[in-house]
Amino acid sequence: MDASGPVRVALLGCGVVGTEVARLLLTDATELAARVGAPLELVGIAVRDVAAPRDPVVDRALLTSDAEGLVRRADVVVEVMGGIEPARSLLLAAIEGGASVVTANKALLGQDGPTLYAAADDAGVDLYFEAAVAGAIPLVRPVRESLAGDRVTRVLGIVNGTTNFVLDRMATDGLELDQAVKEAQALGYAEADPTADVEGHDAAAKAAILASLAFHTRVSVDDVHREGILAVTAQDVALAAETGHVVKLLAVAERVADGVVVRVHPALVPTGHPLASVRGAFNAVFVEAESAGELMFYGRGAGGAPTASAVLGDVVTVARHRVLGGKGPVESSHAALTVHPVAEALTRYQVQVRVDDRPGVLAQVASVFAGHGVSIETVRQARADGDQADLLVVTHTARDADLAATVVDLAELPVVRAVLSVLRVEGA
C-alpha cells in the first residue's frame, strides 16, 4: 500500500460469513473509505470451488483457488474459511508478509491462538478476531481492551446459539433433544453434523479465547472442561422449570486462588437471572471485574450478516492503523497462569436420587454429602413408583471433586436405586 493508495483486502472464504463481508465491502465502499481514511479495495476472494454458484453480489472475476498467491497481494487478510488448515498456514504467511489479519475462526484461535498472537506481535501487525466469539456482539474488544486496566474475576455466558435454541425449544414445548436439534437444522441454526455445537466444542473454543483475554494468560481448548448437552433430557428441563430454573449450556471462566478454571457444561440458571431470559439462538455473556462490577453483553452470536458486522468492524480498525499509524494490543507477553482442572471449581449442585422410601434413608443420604464436606442447602422429596421416592438435593457451594466423590458413594449406597441427574447451579 502506498501512502495515498487504497488498502488492499484479501478475503479467504465466501460462504455464510464471507458472502456478507463481500457485500458490505462492495455496497458500503464509500462510507467505509471515509471511516478508514482510504478506500478498501477487495483484491480477491479465495474459495475451494471457483465454479460453484454464488450470491450475485460476488464479482466472479475476484474468485480464485490460489489463496497463497492472494495473501501475498494484500495489506489486510480476512479469514472466514474456518477449520485449522490451510487457515493457520495462510494467516501465518500473511503475518510474516506484513499484512494485518482479521479472523472469525474460533476453532483455530481456541487451539493455536498463542502461535498466531506471537507471530503477529513479532511482525508488528494487527490480529483482530471480534467475530470469533459471540458473532455480532462486541465482546472481544471490551474484554481485550476496555477492561485492560481492571481485574476480571469471572466470565459467564451463553456463547453457542444452536444449543441455546435447542434447550429453549425443549423448555417451551417439551421437545426431546433430538427433535429440537432437527428443528434447529431445519431452520439453519445447526449444521447437518451438529457435533461441534451439541458436544460443546464450539463453546469450549470460545471459552478458551475469552479466558485467555480476560485473564491475560494462555488457555487452550484442551484446558477447558467440556460437557455438551447430549445427556440433557426433556425430564431434566421440566424438573428445572418446576424448581424455578432453566437449563442453559454455559461457558464459565473464573479465577481461583492461584490460577483459573474454564468449563463448559449444561447448568441450572434461576429464572430471575438475566441469562435465563436469553431465548432462541441469541448469546449473552456476563463479565465480572473488580472495579467495573458486573457487565452484560447480549445479541446475535451467529449468522452471516451479524458476524460480518463484527468482521468489518475489525477490518476498519486494522485498515485505519495502516493508514494513520497505530497498532492493536500485544498478546504474546502475558504470563501463564495455572489452568486448574474442573475438580477445583466451586459451585452449587442439584442432585436427583431415587431411593427406598423408608425411615432413615434421608439420614443415610445426608451423611454421604457430609462425609465429603458438601453442605446441603435444600432437600425436596417427591413420591416415585411403588415404595420409592425421588430426592432433589441442592447443595451450598462445594468443590467439584468433593461433589463427584459424593455422587460415586451415593450410587453405592444400598438404599439408593439410581442417581438420576447431577447438574451444576450457576448464577444464583
Ligand X SMILES: N[C@@H](CC=O)C(=O)O
Please spell the DSSP secondary structure of 181-197, one letter per residue. Answer: HHHHHHTTSS-SS-HHH
Nearest C-alpha neighbor of 288 from the set 140, 158, 155: 155
Which entry of ligand X, ligand NDP, none binds 16, CB below 5 to 8 A by partner kind? ligand NDP
Residue nearer to ligand NDP on the CB measure, 14 or 155: 14
Select the residue interacting with ligand X from 197, 227, 331, 402 (CB under 6 A): 197
* Radius of gyration for the alpha carbons in the chain, expressed in angstroms and rounded: 24
Select the residue interacting with ligand X from 110, 161, 304, 306 (CB under 6 A): 161
Q: How far apart are CA 253 and CA 274, in angstroms?
A: 18
Contacting positions for ligand NDP (CB under 6 A): 13-18, 46-49, 52, 67, 80-82, 86, 104-106, 131, 135, 302-303, 307
Q: How far apart are CA 11 and CA 22, in angstroms?
A: 8
19 is in an annotated binding site: yes
Catalytic residue at 248? no
Nearest C-alpha neighbor of 426 from the set 222, 181, 254, 289: 254
Nearest C-alpha neighbor of 114 from the set 131, 93, 92, 133: 92
List binders of ligand X among 126-145 (CB under 6 A): 135
> Which range touches ligand X (CB under 6 A), out of 57-65, 159-167, 260-268, 361-369?
159-167
> Which range touches ligand X (CB under 6 A), out of 74-82, 157-165, 256-264, 352-360?
157-165
Count of Cβ atoms closer than 10 Å to residue 346 Cβ: 12
Which entry of ligand X, ligand NDP, none binds 81, CB below 5 to 8 A by partner kind? ligand NDP
Residue nearer to ligand NDP on the CB measure, 49 or 242: 49
Give me the catalytic one of 182, 206, 248, 327: 206
> 282-289 and 152-158: which strand pairing?
antiparallel
Minimum separation from the CB atom of position 102 to ligand X (A)? 16
Q: How far apart are CA 48 and CA 80, in angstroms?
A: 12
What letter would DSSP give residue 343? G
C-alpha cell at 286: 456476563
C-alpha cell at 295: 457487565
Minimum separation from the CB atom of position 38 to ligand X (A)? 31
Residue nearer to ligand NDP on the CB measure, 143 or 337: 143
Residue 71, helix vs strand vs coil: helix
Which entry of ligand X, ligand NDP, none binds 347, CB below 5 to 8 A by partner kind? none
Minimum separation from the CB atom of position 190 to ligand X (A)? 7
191 is in an annotated binding site: yes
Dihedral sign of CA atoms 219, 223, 228, 231 in order = negative
Minimum separation from the CB atom of position 207 to ligand NDP (A)? 15
Q: Between the CA of residue 83 and those of 63, 113, 153, what are the distances in Å?
A: 20, 13, 31
List binders of ligand X among 287-306 (CB under 6 A): 301-302
Select the residue interacting with ligand X from 168, 202, 390, 402 (CB under 6 A): 202
Please report where in the chains the cell 447438574 appears, as a residue.
423
Numbered residues of the known binding site for L-homoserine: 191
Q: Which residues of the shown chain bind ligand X in the complex (CB under 6 A)?
A: 135, 160-162, 197, 202, 301-302
Numbered residues of the known binding site: 12-19, 106, 191
> What are the residue numbers of the active site?
206
